[in-house]
Amino acid sequence: GTADRNRSHWSTSKTPSYTKSVSWQHHPETHGHELIVTSDKDGPESAFERFLPDADIVISQPFWPAYLTRDRIEKASKLKLALTAGIGSDHVDLDAAAKAGITVAEITGSNSISVAEHVVMMVLSLVRNYLPSHQISADGGWNIADCVTRSYDVEGMHFGTIGAGRIGLAVLRKLKAFDMPLHYTQRHLLASVIEEELGLTYHPDAESLARTVDIVNLQVPLYPSTEHFFNQKMISEMKRGSYLINTARAQLVDRDAVVNALKSGHLAGYAGDVWFPQPAPASHPWRTMPWNGMTPHMSGTSLSAQARYAAGTLEILESFLGNSPIREEYLIVDRGQLAGTGGKSYQLN
Ligand code: NDP
């Protein structure tokens, strides 16, 4: 209830770790299953590694990921299903999972709009200098000149997304209302009717888009060839004073190149909610770098999104345990290869 919510301590930096075991009857007429719930997931002594050799199914959120590396997959000899409660299964080594015959599935579509809304919020908050201005207000100040010294209208600014899939396209649709010229790049062209409706400019590559726009948004999945593709060289292609937004995956960018570009003023702001590793250590430089609008990984896990991916997780479990096929759009890896949405969104090593 409201009273309980008011009492919760949102600002706590300590994240308690827990492990519990509950018995779980899937269908009363069939076998009982044991469900182990834990947040103790990192390192060889973790509860996750201890229970992994016995696990048939691992369910992980992308927000607090149970990294299923090649080594761990080798130890997980009974594992049949790696289920992502959300979207983005890059915490699983997909190549190793395919070779081990493990099915990987995620809840396609469950939080695309949640993330798109977050990106719009970050565009507005960076460009209008919202977070520093809010801090001035919270600190009792009225320094309007300081608030607006870096504050602009978004109208007329050029916005470009690298990746215009489920999230990227939703962001473009929402930003259309702000009268911003819109750009995109990806390997396949969008339908011309969509390009016309939104007045989109297509760029053949990321460099061309980075050179042209004021705000770059990253919205491509992480797989081996996209890792660190937004490096110092790519950032140097961006206009001086432009903004970079990344709610896709932290390893798409070079961590220190972002910090250096903010310090030198080449970038005017960086906002996102994705880090590596997750949880990020307290000393992670993105927590304290100048002009950052970072949050913990939360955009895709609003309560609205949780209701959707919980329902999808249940559906996949019921299919899997009931020996019926998992919906094609939920599949990332199946029968030793990329399948369903995995075939469209990912590449193996
Ligand atoms: P989609 O697969 O729908 O879209 C990704 C787009 O990226 C595709 O349109 C694809 O087009 C394009 N793309 C892929 N590879 C490249 C490339 N090498 N160069 C240029 N474009 C490329 O994914 P979503 O929009 O649903 O999600 C994107 C990512 O966002 C997820 O993979 C996940 O990592 C992250 N995410 C983050 C969340 C959060 O809470 N922060 C929640 C949900 C997702 P084409 O094939 O034509 O290149």
From the CA of 229, give the closest atom in ligand 1. 18
From the CA of 249, give the closest atom in ligand 1. 34
Distance of CA 340 from the midpoint of ligand 1 (Å) = 15
What is the model's pLDDT at position 32? 81
- Identity of the amino acid at 332: I
Residue 221 beta carbon below 6 angstroms from any ligand 1 atom: yes
| Interatomic CA distance for residues 54 and 78, integer angstroms | 6
What is the model's pLDDT at position 79? 98
What is the model's pLDDT at position 72? 98
pTM for this prediction:
0.93
Segment-wise mean pLDDT, segments of 10 residues, the chain, 349 residues? 36 59 54 89 96 97 97 98 97 98 98 98 98 98 97 98 98 98 98 98 98 98 96 98 98 98 98 98 98 98 98 97 96 98 92
What is the model's pLDDT at position 349? 76
Burial 321-342 (b: 16+ CB within 10 A, else e): beeeebbeebbbbbeeebbbbb
DSSP-derived 3-state class of residue 286? helix
Catalytic residues: 111, 249, 278, 297
What is the 8-class DSSP label of residue 191? P
What is the model's pLDDT at position 20? 76
What is the model's pLDDT at position 21? 73
| Interatomic CA distance for residues 272 and 1, integer angstroms | 30
Helices (H) and strands (E) in the chain, counts: 14, 13
